[in-house]
């Protein structure tokens, strides 16, 4: 896998939402493969992320913050990433979140729009502003982050999140069609229960987490490294004939 990733002259990867959890795990994995990696965070906690990432790879890790639901910020972050790495070969659009559990009968349009913005608008703006750079790559690729919730509606109060992640899948398929003319591949990854993440630490009780494991065929939580390895495969030459797909990674949680 390492030779496949670094064969992209050299691999230059932007990971959005890389301040913690799945995004940080993906960024660390690409760094371990020898790629140049730009880590984006919404918060300006760059120093905290740097401390946990750059030891031994200082010359290959770059950091920028901004709100990717705002077009000016998205354009600035992506332009800065491309400048720091002299281009882009792969983009992982990982920004997203549940924000709050709210039942439909209690839903405000403000909550609905904020969830759509953080999950869908951020992904679209990332694609839009990365496209000019990916066109210049020998093997451009985008991976978006969907969710098991996009298939099954999610848990209680997750309707807006489930709808947003379903929209990410639709956007991924549309972008795959549009970008194929430039030999840019676009795929989605849909994780199930990934343990030790801010998402589940915030929104899932200990009992709920145990229930999810019990309802997973492999009887364990997924790890951020599990997701990172899949993402690395999807942007590698080994996946050169895969585009427009959503790859579920849930240990069999989907079919139980």
Per-residue b or e along 208-219, where b marks 16 or more CB atoms closer than 10 Å to that residue's CB: ebeebbeebeee
What helix, strand, coil percent values describe the chain, rounded to 5? 50, 15, 35
Per-residue b or e along 26-37, where b marks 16 or more CB atoms closer than 10 Å to that residue's CB: bbbbbbbbebbb
Contact predicate 24/46, CB 8 Å = no
CA pair distance 249, 230, nearest whole angstrom: 8
Per-residue b or e along 146-157, where b marks 16 or more CB atoms closer than 10 Å to that residue's CB: bbbbbbeebbeb
Strand pairing category for 36-41 and 61-65: parallel
Is 165 catalytic? The answer is: yes
β-strand partners of 247 = 189
CA pair distance 147, 31, nearest whole angstrom: 24
Options 128, 133, 161, 177, the catalytic residue? 161
Options 165, 173, 177, 182, the catalytic residue? 165
β-strand partners of 64 = 40
Burial label, 241 (beta-carbon count in 10 A; 0-12, 13-18, 19+): exposed
CA pair distance 98, 203, nearest whole angstrom: 8
Is 161 catalytic? The answer is: yes
Catalytic residues: 161, 165
């Amino acid at each position: 896998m390492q030779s496949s990733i670094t064969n992209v002259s050299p691999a230059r990867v932007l990971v959005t939402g890389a301040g913690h959890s799945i995004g940080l795990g993906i960024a660390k994995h690409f760094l371990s493969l020898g790629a140049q990696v730009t880590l984006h965070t919404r918060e300006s906690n760059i120093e905290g992320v740097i401390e946990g990432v750059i030891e031994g790879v200082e010359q290959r890790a770059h950091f920028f913050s901004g709100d990717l639901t705002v077009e000016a910020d998205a354009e600035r972050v992506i332009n800065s990433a491309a400048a720091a790495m002299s281009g882009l070969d792969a983009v992982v659009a990982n920004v997203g979140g549940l924000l709050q559990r709210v039942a439909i009968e209690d839903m405000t349009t403000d909550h609905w729009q904020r969830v759509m913005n953080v999950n869908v608008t951020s992904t679209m703006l990332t694609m839009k502003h990365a496209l000019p750079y990916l066109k210049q790559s020998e093997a451009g690729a985008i991976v978006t982050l969907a969710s098991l919730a996009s298939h099954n509606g999610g848990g209680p109060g997750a309707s807006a999140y489930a709808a947003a992640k379903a929209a990410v899948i639709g956007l991924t398929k549309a972008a795959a069609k549009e970008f194929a003319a430039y030999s840019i591949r676009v795929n989605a990854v849909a994780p199930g229960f990934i343990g030790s993440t801010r998402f589940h630490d915030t929104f899932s009780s200990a009992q709920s987490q145990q229930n999810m494991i019990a309802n997973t065929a492999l009887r364990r939580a997924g790890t951020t490294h599990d997701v990172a390895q899949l993402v690395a495969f999807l942007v590698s030459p080994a996946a050169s004939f895969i585009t427009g797909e959503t790859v579920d990674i849930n240990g069999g949680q989907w079919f139980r």
